[in-house]
Amino acid sequence: MLNSSQPLPSYKVVVLGESSVGKTSLVHRFTSNKFNNHTSNTIGAAFITKEFSSTKEPERKINLEIWDTAGQERYRSLTPMYYRNAKVALVCFDLSNFENTFITAKYWIEQLNLNNSSTINNDDGIEIRLVGTKSDLISSSEDEGNKSLINNEIDSFLHNQKETIKAYNETSSKNGTGIVELFENIIENISEEYIKNHYEMLKKPKDNNIGSMLQSRSNFSSSCC
């Protein structure tokens, strides 16, 4: 069993997508299990943390650092700053406003793919997960044909992006459907090596760098005097 006094491994998650697709509602449902119909648009980005583990391995806890980014186009130039060093990107689109919001989701996946292709080590790339939000609205729709078209387009896109997209999840922040499962799957896919390296780093003496610095100063002083 891990020492409860040790800091948990941190895992950065960034949430991307068009404005009003429900990114903030998704984060709030996950972190506080609450839903607000009148959530304001995010300005820039919002940051929140949550200690979390899957039901399969309750002792394997991770400190999720979640960045909820603004979806307005005027903030796009700032967004790469927020997904830098992220481990997972949740690229969201609104199932009830598919045509408009899926275009933006494709844009962010393209940008993330460019980011991943430029990394020196592929292991440093961002894991991309596509997330359909507001599933409660589309499931209550009477337009079965439209739902079928949406599903076909998503399936086709996922097939073409099978090398870059880790998974696809449908969620509803209003009724909580699929959200815990989404984050549990993220936790379950974190490698044991990542967690092991975190706790190995904690074992290393913290004063090594300070000692080396003092020794260097001492050597410098003795050589000058």
pLDDT (tens digit, 9 = 90+) per residue, 78-135?
888 999 999 999 999 999 999 999 999 999 999 999 999 887 565 679 999 999 999 9
CA distance 111 to 98: 20
What CATH number did the domain enclosing 40 receive?
Answer: 3.40.50.300
Q: At a CB cut-off of 8 Å and minimum separation 6, what does 197 contact?
A: none
SS3 65: strand
Report d(CA 12, CA 202) in Å as an integer: 19
Q: Does residue 4 lie within any of the structural domains?
A: no
User: Are 95 and 170 contacting, i.e. CB atoms less than 8 angstroms apart?
Assistant: yes
Residue numbers of the domain that contains 148: 10-224
- Least Cα distance to 101 among 46, 145, 154, 165 occurs for 154
Q: Can you give the pTM of this predicted structure?
A: 0.86
| pLDDT of 23 higher than 90 | yes
Is residue 2, in this structure, part of any structural domain at all?
Answer: no
Number of domains in the chain: 1
* CA atoms of 134 and 97, how far apart (whole Å): 9
Q: Is residue 3 part of a domain?
A: no
Give the residue from 9, 29, 24 showing the smallest Cα distance to 182: 29
